Amino acid sequence: MKVCFLDIYPKKNYRISKDQNGGFGTANNYGENFILKILSAYIKKNIDYPPLFLVQSMAELKKNQFSVSYSRSLDIPNKDLYVIASSIVSHESEIDVIKSLIARNKKVFVIGPFATSKPHLYSSTGAKVISGESEFFFKDFQIEDLNKFKNYDDIILFKNIYDLDDLSYPAWDIILKYSKPVMKLLGRGLTIPISSSRGCPYSCSYYCTYPLQQGNKLRLRKTDNVVNEMLYWNKNYNVNNFIFRDPVFSLNKRHTLELLNKIIATNKKFRICVETHLKNLDQETVEIFKRAGIKIVYVGIESGDKEVLFDSKRTTIEFDSQIEKVKLLESKGIRVKSMYILAQPSDNETTTKKTINYSKKVPSTYAQYSIFTPYPGTPVFEKFKDKIIVDKYEEFDQWQLVFQHLCFSKLRVRELLNFAYLSFYLRPSWIFAYFKKILLR
Ligand code: SF4
């Protein structure tokens, strides 16, 4: 039985990722300025990998003897079953493809966090939606189950009560036949996304999409299982670069230290990227990050204004402490990308400029600015659902204003976004420090 996983994207000259933003997806449309267009093109070329939930689901069907393929093309091959990776950021493009498959009487499953949150958007096309972690559904899905496809509910509900160690390694071997996952900021060669945990208990789930699919409860993989997976890709595919896709790496300190000590014990020269919360970092953790080969750390700072942080229920630490922790990471040669959200509901010109100015005091190598977006399924969406000003879900890409803001127009927010990027990256001090780091690497 042949199954094709379809990973559909609208045609854009900037990167669109379905893996980021809790699987809802995001874009890297930095701005209209010539320099920012070059930055967008650079990121599109140099950071690219399919969503982990798709590759994990492929592995389960492969294990059950399906012949599994992957495609991003609209020229769709003839198969017995299609599995579409959903996202908000490619939603309308995905729907067009699903409709054309349904018109040809094809069997279609839709998977992923966005379809989990808004299943009716997809089930209304005639596709079957797996609402929950699809890899656990496919784990027990056998070839003969395809004969009873029409008996499945239009929306198949799954709860996250499953053990992550029950899953196969994601099917990167299949992906590699079609595309090369890369993250050049980590270094040359292939980069494999991997996960050691799922779920996040923090209060910023008020606006964050990660817990919608993964839940608020932290679920951990056994550390041996994670390290063995890294060794497997290293031995068989010469992979040295790994991106941990845990919503917050190092939520459980004991687990983190155990994992990193085991990575150190492999004596491999892995290059690793993680996303974490500054709250969870201390001298001991940072030391071990360095020894384990963590080269890049993403941290959400979100705003430079306390009231804005309070209003968005952001779990945070004092500003001085943020600066100290970023300084500590950078002093160990670990590059930090600090992430900020502009035009939050309680932001105005003053607080937004405060955030941009604060971002230049935080001594991180990289900064990312995005625009506050109330996502369907999150608690904050309820407040803004009647104030949405865009027509397509694909416009929920974190790079434009999608709701009626009390203080900003769409245009003004883009101006502030452009200003934030240019004023961060065009500082002589930043340019000097960056090239010094490259030369010393
Ligand atoms: S720390 Fe907050 S923003 Fe980050 S994954 Fe958890 S809930 Fe989301």
- List the CATH number of the domain containing 389: 3.20.20.70
Q: Where is the domain boundary, 123, 157, 191?
A: 157
Element (H, E) at 48: strand 47-48
Task: Look at the chain and count its residues.
Answer: 441
In a domain, 79, yes or no: yes
Element (H, E) at 128: strand 128-131
Domain count, the chain: 2
In a domain, 170, yes or no: no
Nearest to 165 by CA among 200, 139, 142, 132: 139
> Which residues are paired to 157 by β-bridges?
131
In a domain, 396, yes or no: yes
C-alpha–C-alpha distance, residues 154 and 150, integer Å: 9
Of the pLDDT bands very low, low, confident and very high (cuts 50, 70, 90), residue 162 is confident
CA of 113 to the centre of ligand 1 (A): 15
In a domain, 208, yes or no: yes
In a domain, 171, yes or no: no
Q: Are residues 133 and 194 in the same domain?
A: no
pLDDT in tens, 25-34: 999 988 778 8
C-alpha–C-alpha distance, residues 286 and 280, integer Å: 10
pLDDT for position 437? 75
Q: Cα torsion at 323, 326, 327, 333 (round to 10°)?
A: -170
Tokens describing residue 132: 């929950």
Q: Are residues 197 and 235 in the same domain?
A: yes
Q: Are residues 236 and 299 in the same domain?
A: yes
**Hey, whose CA ends up nearest to atom 5 of ligand 1?**
247
CA of 321 to the centre of ligand 1 (A): 19
Q: Are residues 83 and 198 in the same domain?
A: no
Average pLDDT over the chain reads: 94
Of the pLDDT bands very low, low, confident and very high (cuts 50, 70, 90), residue 439 is low
CA of 211 to the centre of ligand 1 (A): 8
Q: Are residues 273 and 371 in the same domain?
A: yes
The parent domain of residue 65 ranges over 2-34+49-157
The owner of tokens 């990227």 is 273
pLDDT in tens, 176-220: 999 999 999 898 999 999 999 999 988 888 899 998 889 899 999
Under 8 Å between Cβ of 198 and 247? yes
Instruction: Report strand pairing: 128-131 vs 108-111.
Output: parallel
The gap from C-alpha 96 to its chain's centroid, in whole angstroms, comes to 24
Ligand 1 atom with the smallest distance to the CA of 248 is 5
Judged by DSSP in three states, 299 sits in strand
In a domain, 167, yes or no: no
Report the 10 Å Cβ neighbour count for 383.
Answer: 14
C-alpha–C-alpha distance, residues 254 and 268, integer Å: 22
pTM of the model: 0.95
Q: Are residues 225 and 278 in the same domain?
A: yes
Q: Are residues 137 and 72 in the same domain?
A: yes
